[in-house]
A and B are shown apart, each in its own frame.
Chain A
Amino acid sequence: MTADIMFAPASFALGHADTERRAPKVPMDEAHFEAFYRKIAGGVWSYIYRLTGDPALADDLLQKTFFRFLRSNPAVANDDHMRRYIYKTATNLAFDHFREAKRERGRPIDLPPSELRADRGELRHDMMRVFSELKPQERALLWLAHVEGSSHEEIAESLGVKAKSVKVMLFRARKRLGEMLTKKGLAP
Chain B
Amino acid sequence: MIESCPFEPNVIDAAASGQWTESLRAHAASCPDCAAAAEVGPWMVSFAKQDDREHILPDPAVLWLKAKLLQSSAAVDRAALPITRVQIAAYLIIAAGWAALLTWKWNALAAWVTALNPGRLAEGATGAGGATTLSMTVLVTLVLLASATVMVAFHAILAEE
Contacts and interface: CB of A to CB of B under 8 A. Distances in A.
B25 to A, nearest CB: 15
A62 B33 contact: no
A70 B71 CA distance: 9
B75 to A, nearest CB: 10
B158 interface: no
B67 A67 contact: yes
B57 interface: yes
Contact of B58 (A59, A127, A152, A174): A59
Interface of A: 6-7, 30, 33-34, 37-38, 41-42, 45-46, 49-50, 55, 59, 62-63, 66-67, 70-71, 121, 123-124, 127-128, 131, 142-143, 145-147, 149, 151-152, 164, 166-168, 170-171, 174-175, 177-178, 181, 186-188
B60 A127 contact: no
Enumerate the 9 nearest inter-chain pairs by beta-carbon distance, A residue then B residue, closest first. Answer: A174-B36, A146-B44, A70-B67, A37-B60, A188-B42, A147-B48, A34-B60, A178-B39, A124-B50
Contacts of A37: 60, 63
Interface string B1-17: 11110000100100010
B68 interface: yes
Contacts of A33: 60, 64
Interface of B: 1-4, 9, 12, 16, 32-33, 36-37, 39-48, 50, 52-55, 57-58, 60-61, 63-64, 66-68, 70-71
B135 to A, nearest CB: 59
Contacts of B63: 37, 63, 66-67, 70
Contacts of B47: 50, 127-128, 131
Given A164-B2, A166-B4, A188-B46, 9 more contacts: A6-B68, A34-B64, A50-B47, A67-B67, A70-B67, A128-B47, A142-B40, A151-B9, A168-B2
